[in-house]
Amino acid sequence: MNKFIETLKNIWKIEDLRDRIITTILFVLIYRFGSFIVLPGVDANSLAALKSQTSGGIMALLDMFSGGAFQNASIFALGIMPYISASIVIQLLTVAVPRFQKLSREGESGRTKMNQYTRYLTLLILVLQGPSYLTNLKIQVAQSGAAIPEGLWFMISSTLILMAGSMFVMWLGERITDKGIGNGISFIIMIGIIARLPVSLIQELSSRINDSGGGLVMFILEIVILLVVIGFSILLVQGTRKIPVQYAKRIVGNKQYGGVRQYIPLKVNAAGVMPIIFAQAIMFIPMAFAGYSSTDGGSSFWNSFKNFESLPYNLVFAFLVIAFTYFYTAITVNPTQMAEDMKRNNGFIPGVKPGKRTAEYLDTIMSRITLPGSVFLAIVAILPAFASLLGINQGFAQFFGGTSLLILVGVVLDTLQQVESHLLMRHYDGLLKSGRIKGRTGGASAY
């Protein structure tokens, strides 16, 4: 406890770090405040049907990423998801389109152009999502016996407000990255997820105590299991396989370079949380078929996809997570480029010839470590279904795995790593005695 208090004092002594933390807190408060500002013309008391709609499926995922702004019909209702979608598309284009490949290799100027393209694509997505959200809002409000203003002007003005709100959230994320602590976009997503945790925790505790669900002992057991799953997820995020690289000696003038051994840390889960996001997007397709199918025995297979606890749903979901892990790792980790960089810097892997053999060796290693990484990721992805089957409240079960847990673990590790870097740079003790905190900076994905 004394060590913890001393670390907090050291953090407060570092002026730059203190200012960054305070700035981050202020930006987060602005974001949370905006999540409760309802769109003009919408009665906040008529949103019961919308809140019920966001209790499961794709709407629950969107509401999670928006921190509850989606179900509040807030000016931040569309949240950061359009920007994330645009970023994913641009990332994929860097693999498939030569122009984007060239931009990705142009350094800072190339990244600036790609960021501009990402913003343009975000606006395009918002133009499509804004009216869709308002149309759904109109239907849900009507179920409560109320109505939202009719007419083209309301649709246009509300769409512009939603677009402005989403772009403002993106701007907040960028400001947190520049002036605050941690990756701003990821931090905003994490805040949106954490915002749902207190309510889910209280609901679970209440159900265990009041509904004869095992009482306080069962609730404590759930917390212990959750902590074990969090530890498992930390290992999944931090796991690496180190490849030794020997750099040959070079003499330039009177100076000697190289002659040292370093290591390339290959991530066990180089794809991060992206395979789960991709797989969830694909799973909405059979769910749509299930929505149009009848309820007779012949369509029971499709009907099983309406329930995320069913065996067919989880088998297909786990398979998609494994497949997308390989796919995303293949497009983000380039063994050929790594081999060329090593050869250019007079580096080689001991026992492996430089060039093509090195690329093949790295590709083989990546394939071997990606298999257990993808299987572990699939297990984490379907853990919420098992938690729900064991009687845990659906809202609280989402924190036992899947996108929510991995984002929380990854962002917290990244933020703590930055705090520790500031401490060590000023010659203070780090956060841990056992060693440095490892975040996702070595990974290919930001999420």
**How many of the other CB atoms lie within 10 Å of CB of 265?**
14
pLDDT at 349 over 70: yes
Percentage of the chain modeled with pLDDT above 90: 9
- Name residue, tokens 């009482």: 215
Say which DSSP state 241 is in: E
Name the amino acid, one letter, at 126: L
Percentage of the chain modeled with pLDDT above 70: 83
d(CA 238, CA 444): 13
pTM to 2 decimals? Answer: 0.77
Write out the DSSP string of 331-342: HH--HHHHHHHH
In the chain, domain spans: 13-195, 197-447
d(CA 325, CA 305): 22
CATH superfamily for 13-195 is: SecY subunit domain (1.10.3370.10)
State the pLDDT at residue 231.
84
CA atoms within 13 A on the CB side of 439: 21
Sheet of 261-267, strand order? 261-267, 240-247, 347-348
Residue 307 pLDDT grade (very low, low, confident, very high; cuts 50, 70, 90)? low
Higher-confidence residue: 364 or 1? 364
Q: What is the dihedral of CA 356, 357, 361, 367, to 10 degrees?
A: 40
d(CA 279, CA 325): 10
Taking CA atoms, 235 is separated from 153, 228, 267, 385, 421, in Å, by 52, 11, 11, 21, 21
Write out the DSSP string of 258-293: ---EEEEEEETTTTTTHHHHHHHHHHHHHHHHHHHS
pLDDT digits (tens, 9 = 90+) for 196-214: 888 888 888 888 887 656 6
pLDDT digits (tens, 9 = 90+) for 78-87: 888 888 888 8
pLDDT at 216 over 60: yes
Q: Extract the tokens encoding 328.
A: 């995303």
Q: What are the backbone dihedrals phi and psi of residue 266, each rounded to the nearest 5 degrees, phi first?
A: -90, 125
Domain 13-195 and domain 197-447, same fold? Reply is yes
Identify the CA nearest to 402 among candidates 97, 60, 147, 73: 60
State the pLDDT at residue 434.
53
d(CA 260, CA 361): 21
CATH superfamily for 197-447 is: SecY subunit domain (1.10.3370.10)
State the pLDDT at residue 169.
92
Contact call for residues 79 and 195 (beta carbons, < 8 A): no
pLDDT at 294 over 50: no
Q: Extract the tokens encoding 250.
A: 């070079």
Contact call for residues 419 and 17 (beta carbons, < 8 A): yes
State the pLDDT at residue 286.
60
pLDDT digits (tens, 9 = 90+) for 235-277: 877 777 777 777 665 544 555 445 566 777 888 888 777 787 7
